[in-house]
């Protein structure tokens, strides 16, 4: 079953057209990568899904047209967006960030269990549970951003450049944890990533964007090491 | 010694006036991330509404309750139809808008009810009781206790409740809050409504002491901002303690420090602000904001 389907999605910032007909299909429990160079429209595609940018075309989640919905309504349907730049709540402690993530949930017991699960998934956060999020290291903030997203028990996770600005070993830790999350929870994912090799450790398939259009779509095995991938990044 | 204690007690009583307003400022800052200069104006307007209602024969307590409800609605409407236009832009612009709002509200109050001083009935008796050899008015005790209750409630709201957490989250990062499903617009309205309602409580508590005029809280607003800076923007307990410190020090300095006297006592809180900003910029009780780059 298809969980999320984008068809001919367009979006622009003022006069600049950023998305020019992007299509994407995410099956239940699937993980799909969006690859491409800077400015190709990767982040904007995620923003179109989560309702933070006005978009045209068709965006259907779980059989429901969600295009034009407000971000909090999209979140309430079960889509959690981990934005570029992490978007942690700096003035709040780690625990408070996690509680905000669970804002829409009414099952106090489940929330407590999921906080424990997050701390097990990201042990670094355990010692920082009372620290303000703004005092965390970049890697810890990224872990907190993912943890906050999964606290809402989403069916779909939108992950934007989770490796950005992190040391390679930290980036690998973050992706290891997200892969474990995927296996254990079955949450579907859309993964935007500069580092294609890192993305392929997580996703089953991917699409390559160039100036707001899909230029190549395939399974990870097909795409891995293809020249087009290199070309899309280097523009050569 | 009796004189000293009397000065301290009187200082606590004026400090409570500043504290009432300072709490409202903290509330709106925690809930929207802004310093709201219109806070005093909204409180004065609420006091006028209560005063007008009592003149129509409404019992005082009911009139104050109605003015609180009125203020909640007005605060929410101001957010929805005025502040929302500026929330996405530069925060400085929004702050300037609140200053404009203060001027507007003061003008409207003066236009509707004139600039003459009006006698606002007190919730508490004016009789004095003797405590530790000094005389304290029941009104001062009542006002101070009411402020403490409000402070405890606010602290509990922000530290212990889901609503308080949500209000803070929206103030810190509205977009991230929305990604977690928080209805940002509605929470901002609630934040402004609560702050205005708290302002109405403050207005009703201090109006009998200051007598009701459109500019009744202009002075107190300056002291309240001093208390907010001194106590730390994030701490209800902090700003109340700071407001008391300011009230007491101001009184003591006027009497015991020769060259200050009653003419220069207004400078005392500002000297304090300078010292605090240099030594402890997050305020005495505030949480330090660390920004990593």
The mean per-residue pLDDT over the stretch B13-37 comes to 85
- Residue B289: pLDDT band (50, 70, 90) is low
Chain B partners within 8 Å of A102 (Cβ): 180
Q: Cα dist. A147→A120, A168, A208, B179, B180 in Å?
A: 10, 20, 27, 13, 11
Extents of the domains making up chain A: 2-82+149-234
Q: How far is B292 from chain A (nearest CA, A)?
A: 7
- Is residue B291 classed as helix, strand or coil in its secondary structure? coil
- Residue B26: pLDDT band (50, 70, 90) is confident
CA distance A224 to A207: 12
Can you tell me the ipTM of this complex?
0.90
Verify whether the Cβ–Cβ distance B289 to A91 is below 8 Å. Answer: yes
Chain B partners within 8 Å of A138 (Cβ): 292
User: Which of B175, B177, B291 lies closest to A100 in CB terms?
Assistant: B177
Q: Which chain A residue lies closest to B33 (C-alpha atoms)?
A: A91
Say if B173 is an interface residue toward chain A (CB within 8 Å): yes
- What single-letter DSSP state applies at residue B282? T
Whether residue B206 is contained in a domain is answered as yes
Whether residue B121 is contained in a domain is answered as yes
- What single-letter DSSP state applies at residue B119? P
Verify whether the Cβ–Cβ distance A103 to B182 is below 8 Å. Answer: yes
Domain containing B84 equals 2-279
Say if B168 is an interface residue toward chain A (CB within 8 Å): yes
Give CA angle at A233 (A230, A234), nearest 5°: 80
User: Which of A75, A87, A90 lies closest to B181 in CB terms?
Assistant: A75
DSSP chain A: -EEEEEEEEEEEETTEEEEEEEEEEEETT-EEEEEE-TTSSHHHHHHHHHTSS-EEEEEEETTEE-TT--HHHHHHTTEEEE-TT----TTSBHHHHHHHHTTT---HHHHHHHHHHHHHH-HHHHTTTTSBGGGS-HHHHHHHHHHHHHTT--SEEEEE-TTTT--HHHHHHHHHHHHHHHHHH--EEEEE-S-HHHHHTT-SEEEEEETTEEEEEEEHHHHTT-HHHHHHHH--
Q: Which chain A residue lies closest to B176 (C-alpha atoms)?
A: A87
Verify whether the Cβ–Cβ distance B162 to A83 is below 8 Å. Answer: no
CA distance A88 to A156: 19
- Is residue B118 classed as helix, strand or coil in its secondary structure? strand
Whether residue B208 is contained in a domain is answered as yes
The mean per-residue pLDDT over the stretch B140-164 comes to 87
Say if B222 is an interface residue toward chain A (CB within 8 Å): no
Longest CA span, chain B = 61
Lowest mean pLDDT among A57-71, B8-22, B47-61, B103-117: B8-22
Identify whether the C-beta of residue A208 lies closer than 8 Å to the C-beta of residue A214.
yes
State residue B251's pLDDT score. 84
Verify whether the Cβ–Cβ distance A90 to B169 is below 8 Å. Answer: no
State residue B54's pLDDT score. 94
| Phi (first) and psi of residue B63, to 5 degrees | -60, -40
CA distance A99 to B184: 16
Q: Which chain B residue lies closest to A153 (C-alpha atoms)?
A: B180
**Is pLDDT at B291 greater than 70 in this prediction?**
no
Identify whether the C-beta of residue B146 lies closer than 8 Å to the C-beta of residue B127.
no
Better pLDDT: A223 or B91 = A223
Strands A2-13 and A31-36: unpaired
User: Which of B166, B171, B179 lies closest to A80 in CB terms?
Assistant: B179
Q: Which chain B residue lies closest to A135 (C-alpha atoms)?
A: B290
**Total domains present in chain B:** 1
Q: What CATH number belongs to A2-82+149-234?
A: 3.40.50.300
- Residue B293: pLDDT band (50, 70, 90) is very low
Verify whether the Cβ–Cβ distance B234 to A91 is below 8 Å. Answer: yes
Q: Which chain B residue lies closest to A75 (C-alpha atoms)?
A: B181
Whether residue B285 is contained in a domain is answered as no
State residue A128's pLDDT score. 93
Say if B177 is an interface residue toward chain A (CB within 8 Å): yes
Identify whether the C-beta of residue B71 lies closer than 8 Å to the C-beta of residue B46.
yes
State residue A196's pLDDT score. 86
Q: How far is A230 from chain B (nearest CA, A)?
A: 31
State residue B58's pLDDT score. 94
Highest mean pLDDT among A80-84, B146-150, B287-291: A80-84
Verify whether the Cβ–Cβ distance A89 to B182 is below 8 Å. Answer: no
State residue A150's pLDDT score. 95
State residue A162's pLDDT score. 92
Between positions 180 and 199 of B, the ones with CB within 8 A of A are: 180-184
Strands A156-160 and A79-82: parallel
Query: What would the pLDDT profile of B160-183 be if each residue is shown by its tens digit?
Result: 899 999 999 998 888 999 999 999
CA distance B78 to B72: 10
Whether residue B287 is contained in a domain is answered as no
CA distance B249 to B252: 5
State residue B81's pLDDT score. 92
Whether residue B40 is contained in a domain is answered as yes
Chain A partners within 8 Å of B181 (Cβ): 72, 75-76, 103-104, 152
State residue B1's pLDDT score. 67
pLDDT tens digit at each of 236 positions of chain A: 899 999 999 999 988 899 999 999 999 999 999 998 888 999 999 999 999 999 999 999 999 999 999 999 999 999 999 998 888 988 899 999 999 999 999 999 999 999 999 999 999 999 999 999 999 999 999 999 999 999 999 999 999 999 998 999 999 999 999 999 999 999 999 999 988 889 999 999 999 999 999 998 999 888 887 776 766 665 54
Verify whether the Cβ–Cβ distance A91 to B178 is below 8 Å. Answer: no
Whether residue B175 is contained in a domain is answered as yes
Lowest mean pLDDT among A2-11, B128-137, B261-270: B261-270
User: Which of B176, B181, B290 lies closest to A89 in CB terms?
Assistant: B176
Residue A77, strand partner residues: none
CATH of the domain at B137: 1.10.3470
Chain A residues within 8 angstroms (CB to CB) of chain B: 50, 52, 70-72, 75-76, 80-83, 87-92, 96, 99-104, 132, 134-138, 148-149, 151-152
Lowest mean pLDDT among A117-126, A175-184, B99-108, B214-223: B214-223
Whether residue B293 is contained in a domain is answered as no
CA distance A170 to A163: 8
Verify whether the Cβ–Cβ distance A83 to B176 is below 8 Å. Answer: yes
């Amino acid at each position: 079953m298809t969980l999320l389907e984008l068809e001919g999605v367009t979006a622009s910032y003022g006069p600049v057209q950023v998305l020019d007909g992007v299509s994407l299909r995410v099956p239940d429990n699937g993980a799909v990568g969006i690859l491409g160079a800077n400015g190709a429209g990767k982040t904007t595609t995620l923003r179109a899904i989560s309702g933070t940018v006005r978009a045209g075309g068709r965006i259907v989640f779980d059989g429901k047209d969600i295009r034009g919905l407000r971000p909090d309504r999209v979140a309430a349907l079960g889509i959690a967006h981990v934005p570029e730049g992490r978007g942690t709540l700096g003035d709040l402690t780690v625990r408070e960030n996690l509680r905000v993530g669970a804002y829409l949930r009414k099952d106090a017991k489940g929330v407590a269990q999921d906080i424990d699960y997050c701390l097990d998934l990201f042990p670094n956060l355990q010692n920082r549970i009372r620290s303000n999020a703004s005092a965390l290291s970049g890697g810890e903030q990224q872990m907190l951003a993912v943890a906050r997203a999964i606290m809402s028990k989403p069916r779909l996770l939108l992950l934007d450049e989770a490796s950005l600005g992190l040391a390679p070993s930290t980036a690998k830790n973050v992706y290891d944890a997200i892969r474990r999350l995927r296996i254990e929870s079955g949450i579907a994912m859309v993964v935007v990533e500069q580092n294609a090799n890192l993305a392929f450790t997580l996703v089953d398939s991917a699409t390559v964007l160039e100036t707001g259009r899909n230029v190549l779509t395939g399974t990870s095995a097909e795409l891995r090491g293809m020249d087009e991938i290199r070309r899309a990044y280097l523009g050569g | 010694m009796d004189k000293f204690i009397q000065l301290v007690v009187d200082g606590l009583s004026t400090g409570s006036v500043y504290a009432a307003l300072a709490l409202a400022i903290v509330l709106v800052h925690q809930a929207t991330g802004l310093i709201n200069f219109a806070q005093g104006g909204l409180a004065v307007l609420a006091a006028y509404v209560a005063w007008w209602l009592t003149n129509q024969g409404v019992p005082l307590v009911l009139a104050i309750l109605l003015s609180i409800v009125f203020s909640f609605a007005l605060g929410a409407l101001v957010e929805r139809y005025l502040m929302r236009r500026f929330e996405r832009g530069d925060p400085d612009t929004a702050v300037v808008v609140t200053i404009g709002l203060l001027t507007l509200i003061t003008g409207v109050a003066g236009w509707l009810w004139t600039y003459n001083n009006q006698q606002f009935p007190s919730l508490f008796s004016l009789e004095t009781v003797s405590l530790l050899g000094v005389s304290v008015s029941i009104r001062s005790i009542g006002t101070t206790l009411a402020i403490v209750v409000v402070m405890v409630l606010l602290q509990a709201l922000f530290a212990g409740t889901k609503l308080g957490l949500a209000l803070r989250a929206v103030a810190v990062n509205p977009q991230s809050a929305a990604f977690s499903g928080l209805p940002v617009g509605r929470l901002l309205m609630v934040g402004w409504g609560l702050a205005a309602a708290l302002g109405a409580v403050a207005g009703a508590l201090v109006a009998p002491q200051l007598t009701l005029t459109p500019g009744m809280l202009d002075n107190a607003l300056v002291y309240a901002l001093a208390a907010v800076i001194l106590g730390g923007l994030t701490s209800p307990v902090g700003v109340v303690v700071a407001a008391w410190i300011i009230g007491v020090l101001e009184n003591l300095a006027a009497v015991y420090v020769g060259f200050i006297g009653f003419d220069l006592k207004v400078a005392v809180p500002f000297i304090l602000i300078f010292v605090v900003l240099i030594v402890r910029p997050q305020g005495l009780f505030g949480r330090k904001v660390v920004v990593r780059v």
